[in-house]
Structure 1
């Protein structure tokens, strides 16, 4: 689109793509000043921690503990896409923890849900539009890289019953290879 830089956000991680490579340093400096952002990884820093991939953003941004990035790309809630107010993991561009909460603006949410279920029963088209757009209702977070020194206790776990792909550690970028090896022996 029209943006010089845009982010693809997935909870506590965002990939930032910059149209003109001459702007990357400037965008990095701007992001480092934003409240709620813990770290900004340029390509060199991505390589150093093993998250460099050809489709990674020019910058990868990590939220501070307790903070997260929404995928909301609109400025006016009236212009939000239909899927924003529903549980729709396939159309949303990232994880949306707001889906865990009913819209507090719906006066009788159970009645609203019952109405939607009746519409479904009678064959009408409907949206189960019961999710709010207030991201502040989310209090917890997940998805951060482990802090230095806490990798053993705070990192993701890769568990498998097959010894064919047994390893003490698997790089984030190596998970695909491990799964292909397990499934197809490749």
Structure 2
């Protein structure tokens, strides 16, 4: 049903493009695969004494400057930053036994995957199939930071897909959301604190290389000759520039 609605909405745009002789491209950045098992890297680092927090009003906040190591998670990839070279082995050991880590890339591993950037973590964790990484670092929900239940992308040390959900354990969550929205419309201060602290609602993710092409990103073109077979992600930009006549050729 959703695909049919999308076809109807896009039809006028596609027809206009065809009349002007343009090539229409539909491109997905990634494919979503089933992943319903969260992995808490920062909690493992904290339990190993490598990650530090500071407390304010009873809430805990990650202290990256005091931490010997911490992870910045993004779906199924996490950059693990290690302050000193002498802490690298301790960090590796703290993560070695964490279930749900498929790979832990060092300098050679990062180079092999083409992600040996100067700003990359000293280690890069790749989730095992069916798993994904949270940013969570608190060990007691009562001490979670004030932003944990908010849509707050700039304060969380990592992407939080749980922001897509309302807390299923709170019977008044929709009423709270409605009240916060009403305050917003009235120009008053408000807090939309409705995000769950439990990562269980997340059922899909992306980031690790897909195990099959069916789980990967897709490129569709109205010109069958535009791209055939598999296409490297780094080849997408020059392809689009060529189709748009902006490649200088």
TM-score range, shorter chain: 0.7 to 0.9
Residue 6 to residue 159, structure 1, CA distance change in 2 (3 Å): farther
Give the corresponding residue for 1:117: 181
Please say which of residues 110-119 and 6-15 is displaced more in the overlay: 110-119
Give the corresponding residue for 1:20: 84
- 8 Å Cα contact 1:32/1:39 also seen in 2: no
Give the corresponding residue for 1:71: 135
Give the corresponding residue for 1:100: 164
| Partner of residue 44 from structure 1, selected from 108, 113, 122 | 108
State how far apart, in whole Å, the 1-side matches of 2:86 and 2:216 are: 34
Please say which of residues 87-96 and 14-23 is displaced more in the overlay: 87-96
Which structure is higher in strand share?
A: 2
Q: CA RMSD in A?
A: 3.1
State how far apart, in whole Å, the 1-side matches of 2:146 and 2:182 are: 20
- 8 Å Cα contact 1:28/1:42 also seen in 2: no
Which residues of structure 2 form unaligned runs of 5+?
1-64
State how far apart, in whole Å, the 2-side matches of 1:71 and 1:96 are: 7
Residue 44 to residue 98, structure 1, CA distance change in 2 (3 Å): same
State how far apart, in whole Å, the 2-side matches of 1:83 and 1:185 are: 44
| Partner of residue 119 from structure 2, selected from 33, 36, 55 | 55
State how far apart, in whole Å, the 1-side matches of 2:94 and 2:173 are: 41
Scaled by the length of structure 1, the TM-score of the pair is: 0.76
> Helix, strand or coil for the counterpart of 2:115?
coil
What whole-Å deviation, never above 9, does each CA across 1:66-115 have from its counterpart, x for those lacking one?
21111123333334333321223344333212122211332222222221
State how far apart, in whole Å, the 2-side matches of 1:103 and 1:33 are: 30
Structure showing greater Rg: 2
Which residues of structure 1 form unaligned runs of 5+?
none
Residue 129 to residue 160, structure 1, CA distance change in 2 (3 Å): farther
The count of residues paired between Structure 1 and Structure 2 equals 177
Is the aligned partner of 1:145 residue 2:209? yes
| Partner of residue 134 from structure 1, selected from 170, 184, 198 | 198
> Helix, strand or coil for the counterpart of 2:126?
strand
Is the aligned partner of 1:87 residue 2:87? no
Residue 156 to residue 22, structure 1, CA distance change in 2 (3 Å): farther
> Helix, strand or coil for the counterpart of 1:136?
coil
Scaled by the length of structure 2, the TM-score of the pair is: 0.59
Please say which of residues 8-17 and 18-27 is displaced more in the overlay: 18-27
Give the corresponding residue for 1:34: 98
| Higher RCO (C-alpha under 8 Å, 6+ residues apart) | 2
